[in-house]
Structure 1
C-alpha cells in the first residue's frame, strides 16, 4: 500500500477531479439552475444562480458537486498522500498518513537514539534528534513532483526539504512522548512547517500556550543547528506567535 503513494503529483490528481466535477456541474445545470466551478491554482469555487422558485434545487446541486469533490479525493487516498484540506481550501500532503506508513523506519531511528539517551536531559535528547535531521543536506526539491521525500527516501537520497525533515521529527517526538500531544504546525503565510510537542515542564520563557497546554516548538529543517532552547528565536523568525497556523495531530495506531 505504501509503495507509490508519493509518486502522484498533486496537479495531475487535482485536474482529474476538477475536470470531472465540472462535467457534473454542467449535468446538474438547467434552464432554472446554473452551477459553475472555477479553479484558482490549488483552490476552487462553486457558485450557482437560479430563477425565482428554484433556490432549493440550486443549493442541492451545489452540495452534490461539493460532495463529489470531497468524496473523489477521499477515494484517491489509497494511491496518494494528497488530500483536500477544508480549512486551507487546497490540496495538501497528508502528513499523518506518511508518519503512519513509515512508523517502522521512525521506530528504528528512535531505538537508535534511545540507546544513547541514558543520563541526558529531555532537551539534550530532543537536540540529538534535531541535529541528526538538520545535518541532512537541505534541498528545496523543486524538481520533485510530489513536493517532499518520505522518511525512507530522505535517508537513501541524503537530502530533504522542511516538510521531509519535519514529518520525520514529529514522528520521533511522538515515539519519545507517546502519551503527550505532538503536532505538525503549518505556517501558510510563511510557506513553512515546524513541530510542536507538549512539554508541561517547559519554563515560561520557552513555552507556547495552546488550549491550556504548554508546547515546545522545534524546527528540524537546518542547515544551521537550531536546538530546543532556541525556540523563542525560532518563533520570532517565523512570526509563529502571531501568524496563521494550522495544527495537524501526530499519532501511531
Structure 2
C-alpha cells in the first residue's frame, strides 16, 4: 500500500451543514496569504487568513516520489552491486542478481567462515539500503490490523517537518477562536476548516507529485486533499495549538481518521488505544461531522476491530 485510498462519506440520516464558500491565495513580497471562508458544523460563517513567509515555501519533501516497488528494488540492487565490487576477492566472490522480482545474493569462498560473514553483511546492507531509500522519500513500513506489511507515506515525519510552516498559523487560529475557549472549541474549529477543504483523491500527478498523498502545507496551499493528507494536516495543526494533546491517526481499510484523547460526550464515537479512550473524527469531508461523529461505515470497521493506528508524538 503506497497510500491510503479514501472514501467519500455523505450521510443521509441527518442534515449535513457547512461548506467552503471562498478560497484565495495571494503572494506578496516576502510572504503568502491564504484566505478561507466556510460554513461550520452549525452553519455559522467562519473566515481565516493564514500568512507565512516565502522562506517556508520550500519544504524538505518537495521532491518526494511515488513509491514503486520495482524502482525501490532497482535502487537496492545497484547499491549492493557497488558493495560487492569492493569486497576483497581473496576473501570471497559475491554476486548480486535480480531474479523473479527478488534480489538474489550468492557468496563463494574457500572458507565457510567467509561465506557466512559476507552473506550476513550483504543481507544487513540490503535492509539498511532499503530503509534509507524509504526515509529519503518520506515513506515507511506499515502493518495493518490483519498483520499485513505494506509501505505508506511517513505521516508522522510529515507532521513533524510541517511544524515550522504551521507555527505562524497558531496565533491566527487563537484569535479566531478566542484564547479563553476550551480544547473542544479549537478541535471543532480546525475540523470544520479542514472538512470544508475540497476532497480530492490526488490522482493528478502534477498536484501530488505522483505520491497520491499531499503534505500538510500543500493541502492548505492547493486547497484540496484526501483522507490521510487531511488527517495529517489536522494532527499537525492540533499539535501546534495544543502541544500536550494525545493523538493518533487511525487506519481503516481504504480510509484514515484522526483520534484525540479528550473526554467524550454522550453517544460520541471513540476507540481504545493503549488503554486510553480517544475521540474519533472524520477530517476528510465533504460531510461536516463534528468531533465524535463518524460515518456508519467507519464505525462498523472500528467495531469489528478492522483498524490499526499510529500515535502522533
TM-score by length of 2: 0.61
1:198-226 alpha-carbon deviations (Å, 9 max, x no partner):
12x22474332222211111121111211
1 CA distance for matches of 2:302 and 2:123?
Answer: 33
Let me know the Cα RMSD of the aligned residues: 4.0
1 CA distance for matches of 2:128 and 2:99?
Answer: 16
Structure 1 residues without counterparts, runs of 5 or longer: 28-34, 49-53
Count the aligned residue pairs.
Answer: 238
1 CA distance for matches of 2:61 and 2:273?
Answer: 36
- Give the match's secondary structure for 1:170: helix
Map 1:117-132 → 2, pairs under 5 A: 117-118=177-178, 120-132=181-193
- Give the match's secondary structure for 1:10: coil
From the superposition, tell whether residues 241 and 3 of structure 1 become closer, same or farther in structure 2 (CA, over 3 Å): same
Contact kept in structure 1, 2:271 and 2:302, CA below 8 Å:
no
2 CA distance for matches of 1:245 and 1:38?
Answer: 32
* 2:211 aligns with one of 121, 125, 146: 146
* Aligned counterpart, 1:158: 223
Q: Given the alignment of the two structures, is residue 229 of structure 1 paired with residue 292 of structure 2, yes or no?
A: yes
2 CA distance for matches of 1:13 and 1:99?
Answer: 26
* Aligned counterpart, 1:76: 133
Map 1:14-53 → 2, pairs under 5 A: 14-17=72-75, 19-20=77-78, 39=101
Which structure: greater helix fraction? 1
* Aligned counterpart, 1:135: 196
2 CA distance for matches of 1:121 and 1:208?
Answer: 22
Q: Given the alignment of the two structures, is residue 95 of structure 1 paired with residue 155 of structure 2, yes or no?
A: yes
Contact kept in structure 1, 2:235 and 2:258, CA below 8 Å:
yes
- Give the match's secondary structure for 2:293: helix
Contact kept in structure 1, 2:264 and 2:292, CA below 8 Å:
no
From the superposition, tell whether residues 138 and 171 of structure 1 become closer, same or farther in structure 2 (CA, over 3 Å): same
Contact kept in structure 2, 1:105 and 1:151, CA below 8 Å:
no
TM-score by length of 1: 0.73
* Aligned counterpart, 2:20: none
- Give the match's secondary structure for 1:214: strand
From the superposition, tell whether residues 7 and 232 of structure 1 become closer, same or farther in structure 2 (CA, over 3 Å): closer
- Give the match's secondary structure for 2:64: coil
- Larger radius of gyration, structure 1 or 2? 2
2 CA distance for matches of 1:193 and 1:125?
Answer: 21
Tell me how far 1:159 sits from its aligned partner.
Answer: 1.3
2 CA distance for matches of 1:151 and 1:212?
Answer: 29
Which structure: greater strand fraction? 2
1:59-100 alpha-carbon deviations (Å, 9 max, x no partner):
x94x65653343113323563112334664222111111111
Tell me how far 1:110 sits from its aligned partner.
Answer: 3.0
* 1:184 aligns with one of 234, 249, 253: 249
* Aligned counterpart, 1:51: none
